Structure 1
Amino acid sequence: MGSHVDSIFYCTWSSGFGLFTHNTKVGEVFTCKQGMFADNITRDLIEQGTDPLQIMVDFCRRNDLEIFWSMRMNDTHDAWGGDYSPYLFPKLKREHAEYLVGSKEDRPKHGGWTAVDYAHPQVRELAFRFVEEVCCGYDVDGVELDFFRHPTFFKRAAMGLPLGQEELDMMTGLMRRIREVTEEVAEGRGRPLLVAVRVPDSVEYCRGIGIDLERWLAEDLVDILIATGYFRLNPWEYIVDLGHRYDVPVYACLSESRIPGEAGEVRNSIESYRARAMKVWDSGADGVYMFNFFDPYSPLWRELGDPEILKGLDKVYFVTVRGIGNAGFFLAGGERYFRIPILAPQRPLKLEMNRPQVIELPVGDDVLWGKDRGILPELNLRLQVGDLKDAEDISVELNGELLSGGILSRGWLDYMLKPDLVRKGVNRFKIGVKPGSGVTPVVFDLQLWIRYRESS
């Protein structure tokens, strides 16, 4: 309470397609109390005449918050082989193996084998009825259709085959039915019932997995557009411009980095989330959507919603926060849709003589905002470089100016930057090997730290 959060998107499990913790009559109630779910109190709540979704609705009503029910459109945590997976495999899949894109013995090339195939009309009917039941039975402000958990919807795509207009029409038909029921309920209760979708931030990638996103926007089937998840394919401005073209507000999803080790830890730092949010606001997005962020006491809840607060806070910017994610895991050739630079320990830049590498870093800060008030930033460029013994063996340019004074220590090359060198918007780095050095270093990471200090 008292944070910048004004909407809660609450998922009642829906792992395994149709497995829920609200009192569903259409799907299956998740009452398992085995293994890691020993403390599951869903059955107890239902016996008391309530359930987790109703509790969330009541909480939001008391505290003047929006509440959306979130449905994971094809969650496949039951396929990953974790200790939890067997408990998430629902009765529906046990009884209708023909609905699945594969089997444990015959796995598809892409996505989880337990994904349901939306080419089956029975699957689309169930998805509709899951949504309809909540719209008619709970006082939610909207429903979120989460197409990022997980983005496998057709067996053909799971097998690496291209989808056609037929599959796109199937999903659009489902969206039309969902829009019809939300409009009907909205009219009956005298206030809107909104439809939000979370999808990849690329029209082409969406079409590859069966989502005709631009058509949905053009047909007014979507009220709120939420973009990205495991990966981000385009600059934020791409999806913001797309949504705004159809008068649909766009919320940028910030979820945790899956890059391993120290590189992932710093990407999941408070300073990193601040930088990501600052770039989101600079893109013209309508808000920030947090996913898989579980610390209710984090200061971020009182920072990320206001760029005026964010501008004076310390940050760290990265070329790539999430790496390449699973873009190619869920869609054959999915990595070809990346339109943003990639630099992370798993995708380094190899430097060779006479072949400098150029990398762009978008920055949301105007670092000179406080100059007239005596507030100037300390700017630290950090390059993680392998196979480099002497800082003078490589050259680093920022926005056309050659940097000097680099200090090399334990694989990191540090430069202190003049504030007027860093621009709000795209910053262009050019990194090359100096003639005669005889080295072939590798750049594993690039970090730009911004720390605001009052000048004495």
Structure 2
Amino acid sequence: MPPKDWKIIGNDDGWILNNNPHPVTPETIRKLMVERYEGSPVGAISWCVGDNSIYEFETEIGQRIGDGYEAFEDERQYWLNRNIHSLIESCGGPLTEITRQFHEAGIDLLPSLRMNSHYDSAYDSPSYGRFRRDHPEWLIGQPHEYIPHPTLEYAISSGVDYKFPGVRAHMSSIVFELIEKFDVDGIELDYFRHPAFFRIEEAYANRYLMTDFIRGVRKRLDEVGAQRDKHLDLLVRVPPTLYDAKRIGLDVETWIRESLVDVVAAGGGFMPFDQPLREFVEAAADTTCLILGSLEALRWAVDEELLYAIAAQHWEIGVDGFYLFNYFNTPNEWKRRVLGNMVDRGKLLGLDKRYELDHSDRFGSKEAHIGAFRYASPWASLPVCMEQTRAGGGSVLNLDIADDIEAARATGTLASITLKLGFDVFCEQDELDVRLNNQPLSWDGRWVSEEGWSYGAFDGDVYHTSQTPRRVDGILIQFDVTDLHLAKGENGLVIRLLRGDGPHRRVILTEVRLEIRYE
């Protein structure tokens, strides 16, 4: 049976319990969760049930956070434990009530199980799972093993190692409880929180073990679904390339080909422009598996024109919809309007857009869970250390755009196109030789700002809710390219640094933007 036609699945990280030091009631859930989605194009919610082998729902198999502790690290942990128990007493528990309310609103619910959180929690903390504490021999980093720090090996060492049967059995028991006990519409296995499941040198060879695990989940989903006379969907969120997924032990191509999974959310959303998303679409051709492009608000990706560019590009590639991470608290009006525009492909054509190139330094650290992101991700286009080359050389980049510029120009709806290049520093005596699709840009026609550039971000006043601009220091060099030919699809961009006679400082290209404005 084909999966539901979900244009958008929104992940919720469980904030209403784990980042809300106040009493939570069914009315709180309705006001702060459900009402924020009503009338929006979000068709399903994947609700995170816990981290680090600690769970925030009415589990009878896993460890509920705070149980067995008399003292908590902070007020947040106290209220988290208290709210879980108060909701169990008042309405059956958080997952029971959240599922019921979203179903009443016509929105599907999938519990989201993080497959291997690597957050840096203290060993004796209530947020460090008893399962890991009781079985240190089942962790990626072995007891008494010296692992240098900071390294990728150290960053993933606190995660469980799925080569051990006990780990796979324990995680299967949590999955089965979630689909057997609750009236859910399927389950999400979040393999991007966090993406490491075996020792680095063993991951590729052990990918068959994770495929066997997935087969067991698929079998149980089908059995429970048959009992309920409904199809239960399996959603997986995986690394941004099929190669990197397989390299870390996730044979996503096999999962798709054997119809083990219904929905694949491709990537963590940190590199929506550079990610080879098309390979996922091609892998799912002639199958019923949905491919969703992943968006991560903390990339940052909350500016409307940026989201519209991502959406347009993803639709052009052939995705079936979008998976949203960390957008849960955006207001209802924002979800209706912005997300509504993203799924309205006709309207999207005429909306202003900002295409960008992605940054490897957004997840370049080897510390804690960020190291797991680095481990599972390819390198992106930026930053580029600019050095002078021979004539005709330079840094070769690619801008993939979905807009039909020639059609907009013919109908008179195109207002302007601006290429913006951001540098950490730029010497006054230096110049750039810039070519867009082999068309040279006039250096004399540039416009330079020493005030840097900005992007939208959550301001922190209310958890992931309100937004404010953040400024990046640097030199922004802009070119008007409205009259140049731009193809629908790939556009070659070559940037060559020409050194002047002044003092030579290292020059880093840190930002590339192509802004398209319509009348």
- Give the TM-score category using the shorter length: 0.7 to 0.9
Measure the CA separation in 2 of the matches of 1:257 and 1:49: 33
Measure the CA separation in 1 of the matches of 2:125 and 2:57: 20
Count of equivalent residues: 430
**Which residue does 1:409 correspond to in 2?**
449
3-state DSSP of counterpart to 1:6 = strand
**Which residue does 2:195 correspond to in 1?**
151
3-state DSSP of counterpart to 1:191 = coil
Per-residue deviation, residues 15-74 of structure 1 (Å, max 9, x unmatched)? 002x22221111012247641334321111012242221122112211211211111011
3-state DSSP of counterpart to 1:303 = helix
Shift in Å at residue 257 of structure 1? 4.5
**Which residue does 1:288 correspond to in 2?**
322
Shift in Å at residue 111 of structure 1? 3.4
Report if aligned partners of 2:429, 2:499 keep a CA contact under 8 Å in 1: no
Shift in Å at residue 373 of structure 1? 5.3
Relative to structure 1, the CA distance from residue 191 to residue 220 in structure 2 (aligned partners, 3 Å threshold; closer, same or farther) is same
Per-residue deviation, residues 321-343 of structure 1 (Å, max 9, x unmatched)? 565635983399766x55xx512
Q: Which residue of 39, 48, 63 corresponds with 1:2?
A: 39
**Which residue does 1:199 correspond to in 2?**
238
Relative to structure 1, the CA distance from residue 135 to residue 375 in structure 2 (aligned partners, 3 Å threshold; closer, same or farther) is same
Matched, 1:180 2:215: no
**Which residue does 2:114 correspond to in 1?**
72
Report if aligned partners of 1:278, 1:307 keep a CA contact under 8 Å in 2: yes
**Which residue does 1:276 correspond to in 2?**
310
**Which residue does 1:116 correspond to in 2?**
160
Report if aligned partners of 2:66, 2:78 keep a CA contact under 8 Å in 1: no
Q: Which residue of 166, 170, 175 corresponds with 1:126?
A: 170
Relative to structure 1, the CA distance from residue 21 to residue 361 in structure 2 (aligned partners, 3 Å threshold; closer, same or farther) is same
Q: Which runs of 5+ in 2 are unaligned?
A: 1-37, 451-474
Measure the CA separation in 2 of the matches of 1:239 and 1:447: 26
Relative to structure 1, the CA distance from residue 321 to residue 164 in structure 2 (aligned partners, 3 Å threshold; closer, same or farther) is closer
Measure the CA separation in 1 of the matches of 2:216 and 2:358: 38
**Which residue does 2:60 correspond to in 1?**
25
Relative to structure 1, the CA distance from residue 374 to residue 276 in structure 2 (aligned partners, 3 Å threshold; closer, same or farther) is same
TM-score relative to the length of structure 1: 0.85
Matched, 1:316 2:362: no
3-state DSSP of counterpart to 2:161 = coil
**Which residue does 2:382 correspond to in 1?**
343
3-state DSSP of counterpart to 1:244 = coil
Q: Partner amino acid for 1:151?
A: P
Report if aligned partners of 1:73, 1:149 keep a CA contact under 8 Å in 2: yes
Measure the CA separation in 1 of the matches of 2:270 and 2:234: 23
Report if aligned partners of 2:239, 2:376 keep a CA contact under 8 Å in 1: no
Measure the CA separation in 1 of the matches of 2:375 and 2:59: 38
Matched, 1:389 2:428: yes
Matched, 1:452 2:518: yes
Larger CA deviation: 367-376 vs 34-43: 367-376
Matched, 1:255 2:296: yes
Measure the CA separation in 1 of the matches of 2:438 and 2:400: 16
Matched, 1:163 2:198: no
Shift in Å at residue 98 of structure 1? 1.7
Q: Which runs of 5+ in 1 are unaligned?
A: 259-263
Shift in Å at residue 226 of structure 1? 1.0
**Which residue does 1:16 correspond to in 2?**
52
Measure the CA separation in 2 of the matches of 1:327 and 1:230: 17
**Which residue does 2:13 correspond to in 1?**
none
Relative to structure 1, the CA distance from residue 104 to residue 55 in structure 2 (aligned partners, 3 Å threshold; closer, same or farther) is farther
Higher relative contact order (CA 8 A, sep 6+): 2
Matched, 1:243 2:307: no
Measure the CA separation in 2 of the matches of 1:348 and 1:243: 37
Q: Partner amino acid for 2:52?
A: G
3-state DSSP of counterpart to 1:181 = helix
Measure the CA separation in 1 of the matches of 2:441 and 2:282: 35
Relative to structure 1, the CA distance from residue 99 to residue 44 in structure 2 (aligned partners, 3 Å threshold; closer, same or farther) is same
Measure the CA separation in 2 of the matches of 1:371 and 1:242: 35
Q: Partner amino acid for 1:409?
A: S
TM-score relative to the length of structure 2: 0.76
Measure the CA separation in 1 of the matches of 2:258 and 2:197: 21
What's the % identity of the aligned pairs? 27
Larger CA deviation: 396-405 vs 183-192: 396-405
**Which residue does 1:261 correspond to in 2?**
none
Measure the CA separation in 2 of the matches of 1:240 and 1:202: 11
Q: Partner amino acid for 1:407?
A: W
Measure the CA separation in 1 of the matches of 2:97 and 2:48: 13
Measure the CA separation in 1 of the matches of 2:303 and 2:124: 29
Relative to structure 1, the CA distance from residue 426 to residue 85 in structure 2 (aligned partners, 3 Å threshold; closer, same or farther) is farther
Q: Partner amino acid for 1:300?
A: V
Relative to structure 1, the CA distance from residue 288 to residue 230 in structure 2 (aligned partners, 3 Å threshold; closer, same or farther) is closer
Larger CA deviation: 102-111 vs 124-133: 102-111
Q: Partner amino acid for 1:29?
A: R
Matched, 1:62 2:62: no
3-state DSSP of counterpart to 2:40 = coil
Measure the CA separation in 1 of the matches of 2:365 and 2:310: 20
Shift in Å at residue 151 of structure 1? 1.0
Report if aligned partners of 1:162, 1:208 keep a CA contact under 8 Å in 2: no
Shift in Å at residue 350 of structure 1? 3.6
**Which residue does 2:344 correspond to in 1?**
306
**Which residue does 2:264 correspond to in 1?**
225
Relative to structure 1, the CA distance from residue 122 to residue 226 in structure 2 (aligned partners, 3 Å threshold; closer, same or farther) is same
Shift in Å at residue 374 of structure 1? 3.9
Q: Partner amino acid for 1:198?
A: R
Measure the CA separation in 2 of the matches of 1:418 and 1:61: 48
Measure the CA separation in 2 of the matches of 1:194 and 1:406: 52
Relative to structure 1, the CA distance from residue 450 to residue 295 in structure 2 (aligned partners, 3 Å threshold; closer, same or farther) is farther
Measure the CA separation in 2 of the matches of 1:229 and 1:331: 8
Q: Which residue of 414, 420, 437 corresponds with 1:376?
A: 414
RMSD (Å) for aligned C-alpha atoms: 2.9
Relative to structure 1, the CA distance from residue 111 to residue 246 in structure 2 (aligned partners, 3 Å threshold; closer, same or farther) is farther
Relative to structure 1, the CA distance from residue 380 to residue 80 in structure 2 (aligned partners, 3 Å threshold; closer, same or farther) is farther
Q: Which residue of 238, 241, 248 corresponds with 1:209?
A: 248
Measure the CA separation in 2 of the matches of 1:291 and 1:322: 19
**Which residue does 1:87 correspond to in 2?**
126
Q: Partner amino acid for 1:296?
A: T
Relative to structure 1, the CA distance from residue 253 to residue 323 in structure 2 (aligned partners, 3 Å threshold; closer, same or farther) is farther
**Which residue does 2:491 correspond to in 1?**
427
